[in-house]
A and B are shown apart, each in its own frame.
Chain A
Amino acid sequence: MAEQDTTQGIPEPEGAAALIDTDYEIGQDNVEGSLGPFGFDIHNPVFMISGLTIVAFVFYALALPQQAADLFGWLRPFLTSTFDWFFLGAANIFVLFCLALIVLPVGGVRLGGQDATPDYSYVGWFAMLFAAGMGIGLMFFGVLEPVYHMAISQPLGVPSPIADDGSIIAENVEAAKRMGLAATIYHWGLHPWAIYAVVALALALFSFNKGLPLTIRSAFYPVFGERVWGWTGHIIDTLAVFATLFGLATSLGFGAQQANAGLEHVFGIANNTSVQVLLISGITGIALISVLRGLDGGVKVLSEINMGIAALLLLFVLLAGPTLTILADFVEGLGAYGKELVALSNPIGREDTGYMQGWTAFYWAWWISWSPFVGMFIARVSRGRTVREFVICVLIIPSLVCVLWMAVFGGVAIDQVLSDPAGSAVKAQVIDSYNPPISLFAMLEGLPLAKITSVIGIVLVIVFFVTSSDSGSLVIDTITAGGKIDAPVPQRVFWATFEGAVAIVLLLGGGLPALQAAVISTGLPFTLVLLLMCYAIFRGLQSEKR
């Protein structure tokens, strides 16, 4: 809670010069009322249409599971292979745009007004950035991806050092190891964070500085003008809610399956839908408590706890594994990333389409479809930072942390595979067969105290799902309340519960793959949205005082 003093906000004596002058009053489309003792305050078209669209899609996926699976199972790969150049090119634009903002004079604009002070400390801020945006992915792909790119996917045509019979081809090792790290860091470094940064910056700028409601549509005021309060905006916001809710629900469903696989591997707990439903219910329950405790008391606290535990696990793996090798890997990985970045991000004339389409384009579409959610959440907690500070802290520092994470977890895994291929559990679970959820635990098995670290790993995964769920519920609540962040509490409880319910229904009915593919397909229209946002940000920043 920040006490108001007269120097906060936009300090213009005759009123805030940078406020956008629009007749739209926040809440003018809202319907307020109460269902019995539960109050509600919802944006009329967006809440209803989002809700109905979501229910309709769930019905579709359950009633016609094969058709849905076929349709989206075809659509998503079609999009990521046909538009791979578009996704890669757009992501490159976002990175360049963000880097430009660091050096341009407009980088001095402060979110919230010239005299605003940061709402959160660096620690709390970073914790929330990670927990919302990337925590789950790092846990699952930290081990899997470096090994996979080293040995199987052959990015940029670099050959695998592992022969078909499982022996090591010595002359390929060095290059493959470098590329394994570089190709992974590419997916978790500047590009995804630039995607999040663009959305977050657009939303923060148009809300804190320009006085427009905190919804996705507000970033398009420079493009669409007053039309953005009508159906153009309704469609944008509804699409964002759709992508967020299904993104979260399908992640939750898959996550429950993966956590169950991990539990079975470590403890022998039965791997069936009942356990998974319990996991989803548990995660939703904890997320509900977090949501009821609010942003500071719930989301932030959980994020900080989880970051602390993740840091400890990282430190343990660093020290228990081949420490010097890992540190060398970090430096080498960073260098390889820098060297191969241009080649890896090249959108045209690529021959390694398996890697480029199956991984890169897929990831970009996925991050972009998550960006309304993560971007809005980052925007909400970033008031008081200058644009320059914002971009550095959202782009550079998380990228470095990801590099470190990949170097440690992936580096240890690669070392395990190459030094003892026959006995490596990682090789068995990633190269010989493909069991992504087990990869982390397979790597931990090669280190001391495996049972303890595996439990910690499972706890981390579960809490990262909780932090995604609670921040996602807050975001959906805000969008469907027309940008209000102080809608009645029962509303956010509704969304958190609804998310869990959708996940359970899809898990039991078999609709998870279909709807996850549907979410990732929204990555295509959202790429256009993000490109427009870059333009809108630039226009918006030009009219701000520094």
Chain B
Amino acid sequence: MYKNIMVPVDLRHLDRLGKALKTAADLARQYGAQVCYVGVTAETPGALAHNPREYAAKLADFAAAQSAEHGIETTSKPLASHDPAIDLDHTLRDAAEEIGADLVVMATHMPNITDYIWPSHGGRLATHSDASVFLVRGG
């Protein structure tokens, strides 16, 4: 049913992604799908990497590690953005379209009051993406 699963990841907060990563891996095994890990980085140096090239390498390593751990086929797609905190939503949406994802699995927070002012990234993606979106709550 699903051939191409996209999993947005924040490499700085991998501890919060455990459930989403496992969910994506299980679904990939179930349907024989490929998982593409997508990460958005700034072009300025950050906590993870000095430049986008380093970030790409780290994301690729992460994808390889997931492949080894779960026995699934993985790729990575690193993206650089001028203003990651704001551009994240449309960046992810464009990425989903570009890689032809038919399912997006992403971690999201429990609903709270700020969702009325700032909808969550997952929520926005679910509203505007052509792909199916699985929002994994809890860690």
Contacts and interface: CB of A to CB of B under 8 A. Distances in A.
**Are A and B interaction partners?**
yes
A2 B87 CA distance: 11
B86 A214 contact: no
A381 B47 CA distance: 20
Contact of A297 (B53, B86, B112): B86
Given A4-B78, A292-B86, A488-B85, A9 B45 contact: no
Interface in A157-215: 207-208, 211-214
Contact of A26 (B43, B45, B87): B45
Contacts of B84: 485-486
Contacts of B41: 4
B85 A9 contact: no
A3 B40 CA distance: 10
Interface in A423-470: none
B87 A296 contact: yes
B112 A37 contact: yes
A132 B91 CA distance: 26
A8 B41 CA distance: 13
B42 A485 contact: yes
A484 interface: yes
A524 to B, nearest CB: 29
B127 interface: no
A75 interface: no
B44 A485 contact: yes
Contacts of A298: 86
How many chain A residues sit at the interface, stated as a range, is: 35 or more
A227 interface: no
A10 B46 contact: no
A483 interface: yes
A19 B85 CA distance: 25
Contact of A10 (B53, B56, B91): B53
A296 B85 CA distance: 12
Interface string B18-54: 0000000000000000000000011111110011111
Given A3-B79, A10-B51, A486 B42 contact: yes
B97 interface: no
Contacts of B44: 207-208, 213-214, 380, 483, 485
B55 to A, nearest CB: 8
Contact of A207 (B45, B77, B78, B81): B45
Interface in A477-518: 483-489
Given A1-B87, A27-B46, A483-B45, A6 B56 contact: yes
A486 B13 CA distance: 14
A1 B47 contact: no
A517 B47 CA distance: 37
A213 B85 CA distance: 17
A222 interface: no
A11 B52 CA distance: 11
Contacts of B94: 1
A368 B32 CA distance: 61
Interface in A262-301: 292-298
Contact of A211 (B45, B80, B90): B45
B113 A37 contact: yes
B112 A1 contact: no
B79 A485 contact: no
Contacts of B87: 1, 294, 296-297
B61 interface: no
Contacts of A25: 47
A10 B51 CA distance: 8
A539 B94 CA distance: 41
A26 B47 contact: yes
A38 B52 contact: no
A448 to B, nearest CB: 42
Nearest to A214: B44
A297 B118 CA distance: 16
For the complex of A and B, list the 7 residue pairs with the smallest distance between their C-beta atoms, beginning with the closest.
A9-B53, A294-B86, A211-B50, A27-B47, A294-B83, A295-B83, A37-B114
Interface of A: 1-4, 6, 8-11, 16, 19, 25-27, 30, 37-38, 112-113, 119, 207-208, 211-214, 292-298, 380-381, 383, 483-489
